Amino acid sequence: MALIKNNSPVLFFYSNSKKWLAKISKKESFHTHIGVIKHSDAIGKEYGSRLITNKDKYVYLLEPTMYDYVMKIQHGTQIVYPKDIGYIIARCGIGSGQKILEIGTGSGSLTSFVAGVVKPRGHVYTFDVDENFMKIAAKNIEKAGMTKYVTQHNLDLKTAKKMPLKDMDVAFVDLGDPWVVVPQVRKMLKGSGCVFAICPTMNQLEKLTMALVENEFTDIESTEHILRTIEAREGKTRHSFQGIGHTTYLCFARKAFFGRNPKKSSVKSKTDLNDVEKPAAKTDTTATKTSKKTSTKRVKTKVQKLS
Ligand SMILES: C[S@@+](CC[C@H](N)C(=O)[O-])C[C@H]1O[C@@H](n2cnc3c(N)ncnc32)[C@H](O)[C@@H]1O
């Protein structure tokens, strides 16, 4: 039986909209509209049990899950939500022991969740260019207990001359212009490895899909995931009034070799497009052009391990 001790993580749960994540510190207490919650009242209790505030309200002591951490993280940026993360993990076949490349750490929401799936033998290598966001992400990753399984790099892969990784099982891209890094992602992915990118608009989805075809990716799929909450109560169960509108679209694809000999296959080869849905419009080569242009600029880059 897991008993709550000093330093144990606890989710103080009153209702879906009133819950607090904390590390137990015996001298601490906090004031809420349902009364004072004293950490010391939780010590020695089993997870799942409850305490009573000075206003006679019950608060349950729950063991936090990754969902709780992600929903409570400090947001420096827009984050990927659990409703999408579930499908991402399933669609990319993410499992224990895998090596994951992530471009665009942001607040570290996706990073933490996926690190929790690939640990203890797998690892997430995550890249960002904003040191401020990287610090916020490092704190969030630490709170989620995932620091050991994540390496943060301060490096812009759009302009990097040499790719720092290879044979990655899966790659995530969460940038405003994901199509720009498709050639770089290709170099770091293993054959048939899955790339997944976040695209808040349909225009981004279009550009990305064209770049994926250009760069010999197959099994391309774009999706949107809408979560509807149901308020279930005797005699009056209905949809919740609260709901998230549009969050983002997701795009998935897998690295393929369109040429006959994988070793000789060129990224720019347009032969053997059998399995790939060709875009109806003229293929936009912006991605290839942009990456060529930026790769000629010399930028000062460094690789930083924060954890
Ligand atoms: C929307 S956030 C990512 C959110 C993240 N997926 C999460 O769940 O918390 C986008 C991030 O991409 C980063 N970024 C922008 N350009 C980049 C680049 N060229 N290389 C790496 N990261 C970049 C930004 O600094 C920002 O932190």
Confidence category of residue 263, pLDDT binned at 50, 70, 90: low
In a shared domain, residues 112 and 30: no
In a shared domain, residues 232 and 174: yes
195 within some domain: yes
Long-range contacts from 14-23, C-beta under 8 angstroms, 24+ separation: 14/57, 14/58, 14/59, 14/60, 19/68, 21/64, 21/68, 21/69, 21/72
Q: Which of 20, 23, 2, 24 is nearest to 11 (CA)?
A: 20
307 within some domain: no
- Among 64, 85, 111, which residue terminates a domain? 64
Residue 180 has pLDDT above 90, yes or no: yes
- Among 19, 35, 64, which residue terminates a domain? 64
Q: Does ligand 1 have an atom closer than 6 angstroms to the CB of 291?
A: no
139 within some domain: yes
CA distances from 217 to 15, 49, 83 (A): 45, 51, 25
304 within some domain: no
In a shared domain, residues 91 and 45: no
259 within some domain: yes
In a shared domain, residues 145 and 247: yes
In a mutational test of the pocket of ligand 1, which residue from 124, 130, 184, 294 has the highest number of ligand atoms less than 8 Å from its CB?
130
How many domains are there within the chain? 2
Answer yes or no: are the C-beta atoms of 144 and 169 closer than 8 Å. no
Residues 6+ apart with CB under 8 A from 145: none
- Count of beta carbons in the 10 Å neighbourhood of residue 66: 19
3-state SS assignment for residue 257: coil
Q: Does ligand 1 have an atom closer than 6 angstroms to the CB of 106?
A: yes
In a shared domain, residues 78 and 51: no
Q: Does ligand 1 have an atom closer than 6 angstroms to the CB of 290?
A: no
301 within some domain: no
pLDDT, average across residues 85-107: 97
Q: Looking at the CA of residue 172, tell me the nearest atom of ligand 1.
A: 6
Residue 242 has pLDDT above 60, yes or no: yes
- Among 64, 82, 110, which residue terminates a domain? 64
Q: To the nearest whole number, what is the mean pLDDT of the chain?
A: 87
Q: Which stretches of the chain are DSSP H helices?
A: 66-72, 82-91, 109-118, 131-143, 182-188, 202-214, 286-295
In a shared domain, residues 79 and 189: yes
For residue 129, what is the DSSP state? S
Distance CA 73, CA 7 (A): 19
pLDDT, average across residues 244-249: 84
Between 226 and 269, the more confident residue is 226
Q: What per-residue confidence (pLDDT) applies to 281? A: 41
Residue 283 has pLDDT above 70, yes or no: no
Structural domain of residue 14, as residue ranges? 9-64
Residue nearest to atom 7 of ligand 1 (CA): 79
Q: What per-residue confidence (pLDDT) applies to 48? A: 97
In a shared domain, residues 186 and 242: yes
In a shared domain, residues 128 and 186: yes
CATH number at residue 173: 3.40.50.150
In a shared domain, residues 45 and 22: yes
Residue 118 has pLDDT above 70, yes or no: yes
Range of lowest pLDDT (19-23, 145-149, 280-284) = 280-284
Q: What per-residue confidence (pLDDT) applies to 139? A: 95
- First vs last C-alpha separation in the chain: 32
Residue nearest to atom 5 of ligand 1 (CA): 106
Q: Does ligand 1 have an atom closer than 6 angstroms to the CB of 294?
A: no
Q: Looking at the CA of residue 127, tell me the nearest atom of ligand 1.
A: 21
Q: What per-residue confidence (pLDDT) applies to 261? A: 57
Distance CA 235, CA 112 (A): 40
Distance CA 14, CA 295 (A): 53
223 within some domain: yes
Long-range contacts from 34-43, C-beta under 8 angstroms, 24+ separation: 34/59, 37/12, 42/4, 42/8, 42/10, 42/12, 43/4, 43/5, 43/6
Residue 86 has pLDDT above 80, yes or no: yes
CATH number at residue 27: 3.10.330.20
In a shared domain, residues 165 and 229: yes
In a shared domain, residues 104 and 149: yes
249 within some domain: yes
Distance CA 37, CA 12 (A): 9
Range of lowest pLDDT (25-39, 212-226, 292-306) = 292-306
Distance CA 16, CA 231 (A): 11
In a shared domain, residues 106 and 152: yes
Answer yes or no: are the C-beta atoms of 111 and 124 closer than 8 Å. yes
